[in-house]
Amino acid sequence: MIDLRSDTVTRPSPGMRRAMAEAEVGDDVFGEDPTLEFLQQTVAALLGKESALFVPSGSMANAICLKVHTQPGDEVLCDSRSHIVSYEAANLAVFSGLQARTVDTPDGLLRPELVEPRLRTRDLHSPGTTLISLENTHNVAGGTIYPLDLLVQLRSLASARGFKLHLDGARLWNAHVATGVPLARYAEQVDSVSVCFSKGLGAPVGSCIAGSHAFIEASRRVRKMLGGGMRQAGVLAAAALWALEHNLRGLAEDHRKAKFLAEQLSLLPGLRLDPASVQTNILFVELEDELPTAPDLCALLAERGVLALPLFERRLRLVTHLDVNQAQCQVAVEVFAEVLTTIRP
């Protein structure tokens, strides 16, 4: 089966499994897991932050950061398709008591001219905007990358207007590899940042958040509230460390495979996509009206051994990753062509 639904389907390689089996461990709640401590120090250094904290998932990472930065009744501003409002089960409202104010953008990128008119000061009638949440790369916008100069502009606005910036950087690794911009240059523009190990890097579990010492100490307590305090988590940290050493550079190949898929699929009848818009490892395919719905088309593809993800009625998502090679991408294109031929002889 060629699984292009997500880069979360990657599985630990034999080398990663060996690293996990051989990891030195201790009780992390007591601060005694040396492998986990080393991972947190490594990530903090990569991101240029004072401290970092390992958490089980990207959604928990975002939930912790939003909670620490805000008070119940505050407003968080974000893109209307961002992960925190689309795929985190209303956590920002349920757990942190936040109101989301969303902004429609063509590419998932907030710009100062879109943000500034929507900032609100707390008064008798309105919540105050205390946090802006950004996503780099932006999943539902098609893996788009935040340009560094745009982040610098938002940092300047945040400093002038007194709000915080959080960066959902679950796929920040992809942005870094695609642009060559150092991870720390991205991270220095924001007050907190999350990164994920279980997507393109291929680890089975885990994310980290990074920020100041005080922010991470507050985050540690919130992690405990959410049930994220773990014991011998060094086995998971070992997987993340192995991934950083062995799989980070390979993200460039994932980007090339995504571009190949986009270029080839754009030639097939009934499929609409712009290969030039594919920046990293995610691409969306729009279906013309004469084709079946995205769920129905994905079912036909699955019968022939290719898995894609239907996100909307007439849109499906493909994501390349280390467990799908170039030859399999070629096969996937051929399966698409075969299926479309049966629909449109």
Residue ranges, comma separated, of all CATH 3.90.1150.10 domains in the chain are 250-343
Q: Are 103 and 79 in contact (CB under 8 A)?
A: yes
Q: What is the pLDDT of residue 129?
A: 94
Inter-CA distances, 302 with 115, 182, 292, 307, Å: 42, 39, 14, 5
Paired residues of 166 in beta bridges: 133, 192
Residue ranges, comma separated, of all CATH 3.40.640.10 domains in the chain are 10-246
Residue 123 pLDDT class (50, 70, 90 cuts): confident
Of 171, 188, 190, 167, give the one whose Cα is nearest residue 179: 171
pLDDT in tens, 178-235: 999 999 999 999 999 999 999 999 999 999 999 999 999 999 999 999 999 999 999 9
Mean pLDDT of the chain: 96
pLDDT in tens, 43-64: 999 999 999 999 999 999 999 9
Q: What is the pLDDT of residue 300?
A: 96
User: Could you say which of 3.20.20.70, 3.10.129.10, 3.30.420.40, 3.40.640.10 is the CATH number of the domain covering 10-246?
Assistant: 3.40.640.10
Coil, strand or helix at 34: helix
Res 345 pLDDT > 80: no
Q: What is the pLDDT of residue 126?
A: 86
Residue 269 structure tokens: 């009848």
The edge-to-edge listing of strands for the beta sheet with 282-287 is 271-272, 282-287, 315-319, 309-312
Q: What is the pLDDT of residue 344?
A: 67
**Pairing state between β 99-103 and 207-211:** unpaired
Q: What is the pLDDT of residue 125?
A: 87
Residue 117 structure tokens: 């008119």
Could you give the percent of the chain with pLDDT greater than 70?
Answer: 99
Q: Which residues contact 78 (CB under 8 A, 6 or more apart)?
A: 84, 85, 100, 101, 102, 103, 110, 132, 133, 134, 135
Fold classification of 250-343 (topology level): Aspartate Aminotransferase, domain 1 (3.90.1150)
Residue 107 structure tokens: 């590419």
